[in-house]
């Protein structure tokens, strides 16, 4: 970062907080979300591309032909919301009402429509995002602290996605509604 960034530029990776089980203990760790990507905010991409070429590592600015490929504004907005100013998707917590997830804190708040599924045992959720024209599954940390049985009125209000196909044991269905 310090070898190529100029004043006013930001060069970063986006991290996610996830719980990892070590023996019987759970430990909060940070992992890179997009392992092959480094993000940069700069007003002069050509200057950055030249500096990047001088560091001697296998790097390139994503482009189609000679034209640089920036992320779309809606992708940028979502990534900023997900990682915040520190570029870290914070560990989320919530609870289940029937098959509907209610996120009370963390990076997954408001991401209900993007969620595909959760694994309560491994404490992760998978969300679907579009990045650079393709759909990408992203694993984020999620602790489900309780499960509440739904009433008949809640059943009418909850519209979860269909269950996952057989062979995906241990995974809970994620709803499509925003929380």
Determine the Cα–Cα distance for residues 18 and 109; give it in Å rounded to an integer.
16
Q: What pLDDT score does 151 carry?
A: 64
Provide the percentage of residues in the chain whose pLDDT is more than 90: 35
Distances (CA, A) of 11 to 7, 17, 29, 37, 61: 11, 20, 21, 11, 12
110-130 residue pLDDT tens: 876 678 888 999 999 999 988
Query: Which stretches within the chain are classed as H helix?
Result: 45-53, 73-83, 152-157
Strands (E) across the chain are located at 10-12, 15-22, 25-32, 39-41, 63-64, 67-68, 88-89, 92-97, 100-105, 115-119, 124-131, 134-148, 172-173
Residues across the chain: 179
pTM over 0.95: no
The single residue listed with the structure tokens 């009125």 is 153
- Spatial contact of 19 and 123, defined as CB atoms under 8 Å apart: yes
DSSP annotation of 79 reads H
């Amino acid at each position: 970062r310090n070898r190529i960034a100029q004043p006013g530029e930001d060069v970063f990776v986006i991290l996610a907080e996830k719980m990892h089980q070590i023996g019987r203990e759970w430990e909060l760790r940070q992992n890179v979300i997009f392992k092959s990507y480094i993000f940069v905010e700069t007003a002069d991409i050509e200057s950055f591309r030249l500096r990047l070429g001088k560091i001697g590592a296998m790097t390139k600015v994503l482009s189609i032909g000679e034209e640089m490929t920036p992320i779309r504004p809606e992708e940028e907005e979502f990534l900023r919301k997900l990682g915040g100013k520190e570029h870290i998707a914070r560990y989320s917590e919530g609870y289940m009402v029937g098959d509907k997830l209610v996120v009370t804190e963390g990076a997954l708040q408001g991401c209900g429509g993007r969620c595909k599924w959760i694994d309560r045992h491994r404490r992760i959720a998978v969300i679907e995002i579009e990045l650079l024209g393709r759909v990408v599954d992203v694993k984020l940390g999620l602790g489900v602290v309780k499960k509440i049985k739904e009433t008949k009125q809640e059943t009418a209000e909850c519209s979860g996605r269909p269950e996952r196909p057989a062979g995906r044991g241990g995974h809970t269905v994620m709803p499509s509604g925003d929380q």
